[in-house]
Structure 1
Amino acid sequence: MNRKKLQKLAESLCKTAKHCEWKTGLPFFTPTSLIATVNKFEVECLIKLFNNLGVEPSDRHAAVGLDRNSFRNILHVTFGMTDDMIMDRVFRAFDKDNDSCVSVTEWVEGLSIFLRGTLEEKMKYCFEVYDMNSDGYISREEMFHMLKNSLLKQPSEEDPDEGIKDLVEITLKKMDYDHDGKLSYVDFENAVRDENLLLEAFGPCLPDMKCRMAFESQAFQDSPDL
């Protein structure tokens, strides 16, 4: 991509992005008013990085972008994610048009929330990851599958599933504000606002501070390389 096309795409994405002139090094839960957006230079760096990943369609009818395996590899190597189920859900959260690949637009817009989103944006993102069937609720079954997949099994446990079921009930008791046996977004939002640590209650789907800072220091250069 030549410089002119890069600048034009960056300008277009800056207009649609929700973060601008953002400052690095702020605390994770910084009030929205203190956070500016991804600036044009950083958007250009993310586009360059996307292009450097060598994204090409597997056949001439496929969309151009990062396929599931390539994207999962980035989540694992760069952001330290290991949970297969969560990585698949993160891929779906980035892939807004459901065409089975992450386009350059989805890459920039997703990372702007992934790395620098406000608390509200991160809550919506996490809820989308955890709502496995996209029905607007996190059910007991969804909680069970995510927690079973993410928690380490203890060899001494005769029936680890019982322990996970108990954990689901404890979680519901704490987060199910309307007591209907499942979590709506309102339930999830209220619980997280009361206790921020519940943001990733059902599995790590955001990078930790160390991974975020390492990514930014490497990506936001004139010639980013993953």
Structure 2
Amino acid sequence: MDNILAHLSYFVKRKSARRARASPVRYRPESPAALARASRFTPHEIKLMYRGFKQECPTGMVDEESFKNIFSQFFPLGDASQYAHFVFNAVKHKHGDKLSFEEFLDTLSRVARGSVQEKLSWAFALYDGDGDGRISRSEMLAVVQAVYELLGRAAVPPVLPASAKDHVDKVFDLMDTNGDGVVSPDELARWCAREPALLQSLHTLDTVL
């Protein structure tokens, strides 16, 4: 969480020098106290996050392009656009093609500080690009490639072009226990339960989505 707050604090200072974009309608979220009761963050943490959110999105709503711009601040060594697209697509939108602060906060709360089941549900939604309740090999490959692009020069060891496909082929075959060519939520959960390192990573998702 400290990583999020530090970046958002920097983001606020950087954005405050810009003029607020004109907007006929502004979406106002609930109070920090009310949002804290509905999430796993404190009112202070929510205030800091909202300041950064509002500086990029003065209307109180964020579209996909603005969301990509926000992500790029957190991952300057790589290309965050494709991964940001998958994250944006995985969030359930109540306002058409835009995301409210409450929706952003709800997602971050579940991913960063939710239960293992909540984090698994989020991971499944991230990979299930078409929302059909199954993860195909191509969907998994697309997300893994996006992660490699996201890390960029920060990847250790350096990522080779074939690394993403090799990794997906290995992991997908282990997950797809019934051999039907897709991964179900239960298959994902069973595979994660057998991987202590992955479970630990789910417990430490207190970072940017």
Q: TM-score, normalised by structure 1?
A: 0.60
Say if 1:148 and 1:66 are closer, same or farther in 2 by CA, change over 3 A.
Answer: closer
> Is 1:16 aligned to 2:19, yes or no?
no
Structure 1 partner of 2:175 = 175
> Is 1:69 aligned to 2:65, yes or no?
yes
Q: Who wins on radius of gyration, i.e. which is larger? A: 1
- Matched residue type, 1:55: P
- Matched residue type, 1:185: P
Distance of 1:103 and 1:196 partners within structure 2? 35
Q: Is the 8 A contact 1:47 1:104 kept in 2?
A: yes
Distance of 1:79 and 1:88 partners within structure 2? 14
Q: TM-score, normalised by structure 2?
A: 0.64
The total of aligned residue pairs comes to 167
Larger helix percent: 2
Structure 2 partner of 1:108 = 105
The structure 2 residue matched to 1:141, chosen from 138, 162, 174, is: 138
Q: Is the 8 A contact 2:176 2:187 kept in 1?
A: yes
Of all paired residues, the percent bearing the same amino acid is 24
Q: Is the 8 A contact 2:29 2:101 kept in 1?
A: no
Deviation at 1:76, TM superposition (A): 1.9
Structure 1 partner of 2:46 = 43
Gap runs ≥5 in structure 1: 1-5, 20-37, 57-63, 155-159, 200-206, 216-226
Distance of 1:7 and 1:181 partners within structure 2? 42
Gap runs ≥5 in structure 2: 1-27, 149-158
SS in structure 2 at match of 1:45? helix
Deviation at 1:95, TM superposition (A): 4.6
Q: Is the 8 A contact 2:175 2:191 kept in 1?
A: yes
Deviation at 1:70, TM superposition (A): 1.2
How big is the alpha-carbon RMSD for the aligned residues of Structure 1 and Structure 2? Answer: 3.3
- Matched residue type, 1:51: K
SS in structure 2 at match of 1:135? coil
Structure 2 partner of 1:52 = 55
What does 1:1-226 align with in structure 2 at a 5 Å threshold?
9-17=31-39, 19=40, 38-56=41-59, 64-79=60-75, 82-97=79-94, 99-148=96-145, 152-154=159-161, 164=165, 167-198=167-198, 212=207
Deviation at 1:54, TM superposition (A): 4.1
